[in-house]
Every structure is written in structure tokens, then in C-alpha cells.
Amino acid sequence: MTKKVGFKEAKRRAIEALRNKTYQIEERQEIETKNLLYGNTVSEEDVIEIIIKCRGQDHEMQPHHMVKTVDVHILRKDGWYIKFYFLDPETFFLSVHR
């Protein structure tokens, strides 16, 4: 149902969704204030800059804790922690933390 997306393709699509502001943020009824995308101190551009810097070794993939068929991409770079997944054609961010 969700096709496998490798690191390079995941990176490209995450950047594209941030740039075009076509992403969504997964929520549990409340706005998770720790997610930096909701704040005023971090912009989409800042997050794009971090993602651009990520290499293969900064990337990890895990099944979504509720829907195991969905791969969650995890990026760790310079103290940033960014998690996202795709439900075609949408890109969902789970966390953007520092």
C-alpha cells in the first residue's frame, strides 16, 4: 500500500513538501507545542537547511508505531531530530525537535 522510499527520495520529498508548504503534521487532538514547526523561532527554511545537510548515516527508518506498514524516516543532525512519513501523496511530520 505504501511503497518503499529510500533515504535520497525521502529527503527530496520532505524538502519539497516544506518548500511548497504542502505537508501536514500528525496530531493527537492537541497541538504538540514542542514541535518547532508550530513556533515562531524556527521556519520551514531552517528545517530545509538541516535536511539538506543530512547524509545516509544521519538517516534511520522505523515502522510507524501504530501502522507498521508505514515507514517513518528519522533524521538526526546537529542536535536536531526530525521525523516524517508519507501517505501518498501527503507528507506528514511527526516531530521537528531540537
Partner 1 sequence: MKLYSAGDKSKAICETCQDMVETTFLYRDVPFDDGTGKVKDILASVCDRCGEVVAIPAQSLPAIRRAREKVEVSLEAQVPASDIEILDAAATRISERASVRHRKFLLAFYVRKMARDPQGAERIKQLFLEAKAAKPKAKVKVPRKRLSFKVSHDFEEEFAAFAKISGLKKTQVLRGVVREIRSDLVAPEYPASLPQLRELVATMES
**Residue from the set 80, 84, 86, 92 that interacts with partner 1 by CB under 8 A:** 92
49 binds partner 1 (CB under 8 A): no
CB of 93 to partner 1, least distance (A): 9
Strands across the sheet with 90-97, in order? 59-63, 71-77, 80-87, 90-97
C-alpha cell at 45: 527554511
* Cβ-based burial of 79 (10 A; exposed 0-12, middle 13-18, buried ≥19): exposed
Site for partner 1 in 2-41 (CB under 8 A): 20-33, 37-41
Residues that bind partner 1 (CB under 8 A): 20-33, 37-41, 64, 66-67, 70, 87, 90, 92
